[in-house]
Amino acid sequence: MGEREERLLQAYRTGALTRRDFIAEAIAIAGSFAAAAPLLEAAGVGTATAAQVDPQAPDLASGMVQYPGATGAVSAYQSRPKAPGRQPGVVVIHENRGLTAHIQDVARRLARAGYHALAPDLLSRRGGTQAYPTPEATIEAIRGLSNADVQADLLAALAWLQKADAVRSDRLGVMGFCWGGAQSLLLGTGSRDLRAVVVFYGRNPSPLDLVQNMTAPLLAIYGEDDPSIMPGVAPLEAALKQSGKVYEIKIYPGAKHAFHNDTNPERYNAEAARDAWERVLAFYRRHLIG
């Protein structure tokens, strides 16, 4: 271990660095999440559970809740600031691997930034993510969900947030990743309650002219090295422009699909992920707080 790593480790152990900042610095020094594994392990931060925000963070109220969905209760992970006051609400839509620890961490990151985050388990109709023993089984179950059913449960999530005492009911946003990115964009075409829509490398709605129904500004984020998604970016931008929509599109050179997921060392891109997150927070500040 080099001198720089030793200094970082000592700073974390003495409390000079938060867990989140330690993980971010370790990845920056090592160059990737995988390369940072020995340093994380030395600090007692297991790479399988290296959350950027501690699940027990004392400034946040985090945990599982249920809300009424279209056909029954939907389980969801909620995280919000404990500080008094009302915050904008953001629905976080998971990837095709269900409601994972990573998505729960993303919800806590939003809460740390001042938002009331709700991450639905969209497999609740089929027993919940925990009912599937492998990622492959989860992906197959996700494939069996219809867009109509998923959208119904997402609209119910927005309605639940609107009624929550700690939520600013007129300041609602959505964020989705991969499969959830597609669902986020689709929700943006079907809800007039949204004030901000964020898509991380999600597919376009079909038909594409649904985007003319969007009323909320859109931030769409992509990795350039994503051959299954990138062909849809130019048509999406053309449709948005033709419809006169407010949008931002950011493409990260060299970044792969799912580059924001710091639990996926094969795809994670620390620099792109950090910039994308800062861009998301700036976008939400403009449209959900400003």
pLDDT in tens, 215-266: 999 999 999 999 999 999 999 999 999 999 999 999 999 999 999 998 888 8
Same domain, 237 and 95: yes
Domain end residue (candidates: 33, 50, 67): 50
- Distance of alpha carbon 175 from alpha carbon 90, whole angstroms: 7
Same domain, 150 and 281: yes
Count of structural domains, the chain: 2
∠ Cα 141 201 136 (to 5°): 25
In tens, the pLDDT along 57-88 reads 999 999 999 999 989 999 999 999 999 999 99
The pLDDT confidence band at residue 202, using thresholds 50, 70 and 90, is very high
Which one is catalytic: 257, 260, 262, 287?
Answer: 257
Judge whether 105 counts as a catalytic residue: no
Same domain, 117 and 260: yes
∠ Cα 164 165 166 (to 5°): 95
Instruction: Give the model's pLDDT for residue 29.
Output: 82
- Distance of alpha carbon 243 from alpha carbon 237, whole angstroms: 10
Same domain, 12 and 147: no
Query: Largest Cα–Cα distance in the chain?
Result: 57
Three-state DSSP at 287 gives helix
- Could you tell me how far CA 167 lies from the centroid of its own chain? 19
Beta bridge partners of 61: 80
User: Contact, 37 vs 46, CB < 8 A?
Assistant: no
Instruction: Give the model's pLDDT for residue 48.
Output: 44
* Domain enclosing residue 3, as ranges: 1-50
In tens, the pLDDT along 158-167 reads 999 999 999 9
Judge whether 226 counts as a catalytic residue: yes
Same domain, 65 and 108: yes
Same domain, 15 and 125: no
**Which domain CATH number covers 258?**
3.40.50.1820
Same domain, 101 and 205: yes
Same domain, 18 and 81: no
Which one is catalytic: 105, 121, 178, 260?
Answer: 178
Same domain, 263 and 155: yes
- Distance of alpha carbon 257 from alpha carbon 190, whole angstroms: 26
Instruction: Give the model's pLDDT for residue 50.
Output: 53
Which one is catalytic: 105, 121, 153, 226?
Answer: 226
Full-model pTM: 0.84
Instruction: Give the model's pLDDT for residue 51.
Output: 72
Domain end residue (candidates: 50, 66, 86): 50
Q: How long is the chain?
A: 290
What proportion of the chain, given as a percentage, has pLDDT over 70? Answer: 94
The Cβ-side half-sphere exposure at 271, using a 13 Å CA radius, reads: 8
Instruction: Give the model's pLDDT for residue 44.
Output: 64
What would the two tokens of residue 241 be? 């422009």
What are the phi and psi torsion angles at 165 (to 5°)?
Answer: -60, -35
Judge whether 257 counts as a catalytic residue: yes
Q: Stretch 99-122: mean pLDDT, rounded?
A: 97
Same domain, 14 and 92: no
Q: Stretch 33-48: mean pLDDT, rounded?
A: 65
SS3 content of the chain, % helix, strand, coil (to 5): 45, 25, 35
Same domain, 126 and 3: no
Same domain, 144 and 27: no
